Amino acid sequence: MKRAFLVPAEGALVRYPNNPQMVLAEAGANVVLDSYWRRRINDGSVVVGKAPVKKVGAKQVQVTVTPKKKNPSDSHSARNDLNNEDK
């Protein structure tokens, strides 16, 4: 489906169709243009705007996080420490 950047009309509080607790941010949002949003455009609740352009720095860095490998003896170390305190 087609997407568009929509901004609520001044003073309008526009809810999302699949989550009525969420409202369209004043700054706008990129949404899928389904029948609900097309009706909001037609009734003037929202206006089609331009999405803000993200500025990309000169250098992009990709960060990869690798999980720490579990050592089988680590899971029992706390229990062993408690048992050693009793002696």
Domain ranges within the chain, ordered by starting residue? 3-48
**Residue 82 pLDDT greater than 80, yes or no:** no
7-52 pLDDT, tens digit per residue, is 999 999 999 999 999 999 999 999 999 999 999 999 999 999 988 8
Q: Which residues pair with 30 in a beta bridge?
A: 5
For residue 68, give every residue at least 6 positions away whose Cβ sits within 8 Å of its Cβ, in sequence order, or none: none
Q: Count how many Cα atoms sit within 13 Å of the Cα of residue 22 in the half-sphere of its side chain.
A: 8
Contact 6, 29 (CB under 8 A): yes
Distance, in Å, from the CA atom of 84 to the CA atom of 38, rounded to the nearest integer, reads 69
**Residue 78 pLDDT greater than 70, yes or no:** no
Can you give the C-alpha Rg of the chain in angstroms?
Answer: 26
Contact 39, 78 (CB under 8 A): no
Q: What is the pLDDT of residue 51?
A: 83
